Amino acid sequence: MTNVPPGYWANLQRLGASEALIETAKGIWSTNQPVPEKFAALAEAGARMGVVAGLAGKLNTAMTMLGHAAVDTWRAVNIRSN
């Protein structure tokens, strides 16, 4: 993905994520770090900012299901069926 849909971040705010946590998550999302490193950075930020129960998993979803990746990384997956 080139960006997380704004509605996803808005939903996280409705669930209790602070603006500071959302901005931190956006910064982590935009890096090219491996996903486990992004999870660790989010866990650290969450601990510092007091993540409400159940929110950590939804933040992690932004790093995986809505993950940041260059289009070129998908070229190897381009399988053609004739």
Looking at the structure of the chain, the number of domains it has is: 1
Instruction: Please check whether residue 78 lies inside any domain of the structure.
Output: no
Instruction: Please check whether residue 76 lies inside any domain of the structure.
Output: no
Confidence category of residue 62, pLDDT binned at 50, 70, 90: confident
Q: Give the tens place of pLDDT for each residue, 2-41.
A: 788 999 999 999 999 999 999 999 999 999 888 889 989 9
Instruction: Please check whether residue 72 lies inside any domain of the structure.
Output: no
C-beta neighbour count of 73 within 10 angstroms:
9
* Confidence (pTM): 0.77
Give the whole-angstrom CA distance, residue 13 versus residue 71: 29
Instruction: Please check whether residue 26 lies inside any domain of the structure.
Output: yes
C-alpha closest to that of 26 among 10, 14, 15: 10
Phi and psi, residue 52, nearest 5°: -75, 155
Instruction: Please check whether residue 48 lies inside any domain of the structure.
Output: yes
Instruction: Please check whether residue 81 lies inside any domain of the structure.
Output: no
Please give the residue range of the domain that contains residue 14.
6-65
Burial 40-71 (b: 16+ CB within 10 A, else e): ebbeebbeeeebeeebbeebbebbeeeebeee
